[in-house]
Every structure is written in structure tokens, then in C-alpha cells.
Structure 1
Amino acid sequence: MKLSARLEALVAMVGAPYPHIWDCCCDHGYLGYQLLETYPDSVIHFVDVVPSLVAQVDQLLTGTTLPPDRWQTHCVDLKTLILPDKRQRYLMIIAGVGGDLMVEMVTQLLRNNKHQSLDFLLCPIRQLYKLRTELNQLGLGLVDEAIVKDGRHFYELIYVSTGSERKISSVGDMWDLTNPVHREYLALNIEHYERMGAQVVNPAHPALQAYRKMLRC
């Protein structure tokens, strides 16, 4: 199964061995299926709130030779999920949703699973600055991060953990401005916040200031 550059990067960033990896908002299950092949010692959980999608993934996996104890499907609102074993370390992968919704999901997962060791691998499609700021406020720490270009679109991968004390930068510390992809993405972010600033009384948005500052580093 050929994955997009974004999904390939998510699979590659899973660094530590996890007993359980949760592919949240799993859609058609492509990411989770690749995780099954790449991490044979992990149980992969496919989670989505849409019953038809979960049924489709369940049918797909049932038709394979994969052992049934290697995967589980769950039709559930992620914000209500209570993880089954507090002794386990879990990786929660959330991709393809906006930063605002992602913050809600992470906040509720932390609230519903207190004192649980949780890692999050996040790939939002909007509101990166706000998401990063609020992840810090939730007490999470950075594990890894990256910029990925997939076709005409850019994505940030943000890997955070309840067990890390490394501060999460509001604009990221993964930039390499000798890389033309990174420079193109930075220019797009600056243009975005300049357009936003033209619509308000005070254009000095902290995100715009932070992105512009990187050009002077």
C-alpha cells in the first residue's frame, strides 16, 4: 500500500517500542495498516467516530492474514476514551484535524486518563501556533518534530509526551533555513499572518513576530 509522504513520515517518527499504538481519527485505516506491518510487536487500535468507516476498516483487516490479536477497532468519540490499563505506555496518533479540535481531544484524553503515561504524535492541518502554545500549557513536553511537504501542502509533525520536560516552541525548533522546503513553508506562514494582520487593528500578532524573527537568526 503506497502511503502519502505525510503518512510515511508519521510511521517513521514512531521511535520507541509501544505495546499499544492508537490510530485516532483513522479514516480508511491506511496509517494503522502500515503501522501493523512496521511495528510487529505492537497492537494497533483503529479509532473513529464514524460507524461506516470503522466497519470498513474492520472488514479490511478481517480479510487479511494478520493475527486478530494484533489489531482492534473502536467506534468511539476520542474525547470520551478511557484507556484500559494504566500500567501500559500508549502512543496516540492524531492527524488530519484542525489544531482547535486537536487541543480538545488531547485535553480530554489527559483529563480522562490521569496519571497515565501518554505520548502523542500529532499532525494538525491548521492553527499550529495556537496548538503548540496550548500543548505547553497542558504540561506536555517535546520528543521530536518535523516539517513535511506532501504534494503542494506542508505539515508539521509534533511528537510530545507526558514524560518529557522539553519545552515546546510555539513556532518549532525543527527549522533548517538552508533547506528550500523549510524556507518556502516559513514564507507561507509569514504571508498568512500578514493577511490576518491586515484585517485587525493591531497587526503585531505574536506568531507573525516569532516567524519574522526566524529570518533574522
Structure 2
Amino acid sequence: MNYQIKMSRRLQQIDTMIGQSYQHIWDCCCDHGLLGLTLLKRQAADTVHFVDIVPVLLRQLEDDLKTHYGQMQSKSRWQVHCTDVINLPLVEVCENPDSDKHLIVIAGVGGELTISLMTAILSRFSNYPLEFILCPVHHNYKVREFLISRQLGLIAESLIIENKRGYEILHVAQNVADPVSTVGSKMWDFSQQAHLDHLHKNIKHYQRIAKNPLTNVQAIIHQYQNLLHRQSVS
């Protein structure tokens, strides 16, 4: 089978960050399913779930899956779910709720929607051993604050620059000791100019917000500036 999958740098990095085998991986807001297809191809999970709310996309994706993976001699299976992410059918597909490991990937949506989806999932499945990989398109600081408030710990994080825009990818889970930082702790490589540019962009963004007298973001600005200071003296 020669089925080529061309992914963006963001999706390639997410794929790289998924190292261990899971019982279930949920590719949420999957669009054309490129990440899930890659994970299915390398058998990263017993079952790869494709989740989106756009029926026409999922019909095409299901046709592709049946064509290229319908007769695969592989332990990996796939399922397609046309549903909102807040309605993930974990209960229906999970044979061993206490031990089956789920990785839920939410990428390519805004930070506020990411928080909303995470709130619903954590509320419904508080007793499940869940891991998340998140890549919001903006509001990274808010997402990180939310993760801290819900006591999620950091497994890994990465900063990817694509089309001159920085994307922060977070791999988090419950019962992980390493804390999430509001401004990032493991993702920065200040030997790369692109990382410095992303940091300066964040500072300028909150400096613009600070011009509104009704906002108080000075503490956020200081946290980002402290990263610059640590970089300059290292």
C-alpha cells in the first residue's frame, strides 16, 4: 500500500510527540484526518478515532479509510464519529475504563474553545486515565492558566513556527508531577531566532492590551520579560 500523507509541521510535531502505545487516540476536530491517518498507519493505538462535526468531510474520510485501511492486516482499528467533541463516546468504546489509556488530541481551534472542550471532557470523564495533546491557535496563556487550575501536569511541550506564526503544543495529563508553566518551560530554544521572535510577539501583544486602562496584564508581561532576562544572562 502506497498511501502518501502530507502533514503540516504542526501535525508532524504532534505525531512525533506521541511515542507510546494507547488503547484509544482521539483525533478531534480532525478535518481531513491527516494526523489520525498517520497514527493509524504506524499503529500508535489499538483504535484511532476520527472526530469532527462536518458530515461531508467525514464521509470522504470514511471512504478513504475503507479504501486504504479496510482490509489491513493490523491490530489497529479505526472509527469515525460525527459529533461534537464534548460528546466523545468514551464510555461506549472503552472495554476497561480503569486501565485503558486515552490520548485526546485537540488542535487547530482557538484557545477559548479548547478550554470549553477540556472543561466538558474533564467533567464527564474525571475518573478516566486521560492524556491530552493541545495546540490552540491563540490564547496560549489562558489555556495554560486553565490547565494549572485543573491540576494537569506537563509531559512535554514544543514550539513550532509555521508560516511565520508560532504554535505551542502541550502534552498534559492528570497525576503528572511536572507543573505547567504559564509562559512555557521546556519548549524554548533561544538559539533559534524564531523562538525569540515568538517571545517578543507575545510581549508586544500584551503591551497593546495594557494600553486599555480597564485591563491588568502587567504580571503577564513581566513573566514573558523574565524569560528574556534569563536568556540574556545565560
Secondary structure class of the residue paired with 2:68: coil
Secondary structure class of the residue paired with 1:42: strand
Map of 1:192 onto structure 2: 205
Map of 1:78 onto structure 2: 85
Map of 1:141 onto structure 2: 153
Identity, % of aligned pairs? 36
Paired letter, 2:19 = G
The answer as to whether partners of 1:93 and 1:121 remain within 8 angstroms in 2 is: yes
Shift in Å at residue 29 of structure 1? 0.8
Map of 1:88 onto structure 2: 100
**Structure 2 residue 36 is the aligned partner of structure 1 residue 32:** yes
Map of 1:130 onto structure 2: 142
Change (3 A) 1:202 1:70: closer
Structure 1 residues 122-154: Cα deviation after superposition (integer angstroms, max 9, x where no partner): 000011001001111112111000100112221
**Structure 2 residue 112 is the aligned partner of structure 1 residue 100:** yes
Tell me the number of residue pairs that the alignment of Structure 1 and Structure 2 aligns. 217
Map of 1:157 onto structure 2: 169
The answer as to whether partners of 2:156 and 2:172 remain within 8 angstroms in 1 is: yes
Shift in Å at residue 157 of structure 1? 0.5
Per mean C-alpha deviation after superposition, the further-off stretch among 74-83 and 25-34 is 74-83
Shift in Å at residue 66 of structure 1? 4.5
Aligned positions of 1:163-202 closer than 5 A: 163-173=175-185, 174-201=187-214
1:63 to 58, 67, 78: 67
Structure 1 residues 145-199: Cα deviation after superposition (integer angstroms, max 9, x where no partner): 0100112221001000013122100011021222212111101111111111123
Shift in Å at residue 204 of structure 1? 4.2
2:50 to 41, 46, 51: 46
Change (3 A) 1:202 1:75: closer
Shift in Å at residue 67 of structure 1? 4.1
Q: Supply the distance in 1 between the matched residues of 2:209 and 2:62 (Cα, whole angstroms).
A: 43
Q: Supply the distance in 2 between the matched residues of 1:103 and 1:204 (Cα, whole angstroms).
A: 20
Unaligned runs of 5+ in 2: none
Paired letter, 1:178 = S
Map of 1:23 onto structure 2: 27
TM-score normalised by length of structure 2: 0.87
Unaligned runs of 5+ in 1: none
Secondary structure class of the residue paired with 2:183: coil
Secondary structure class of the residue paired with 1:148: strand
Change (3 A) 1:193 1:60: same
Shift in Å at residue 23 of structure 1? 0.1
**CA RMSD for the aligned pairs?**
1.7
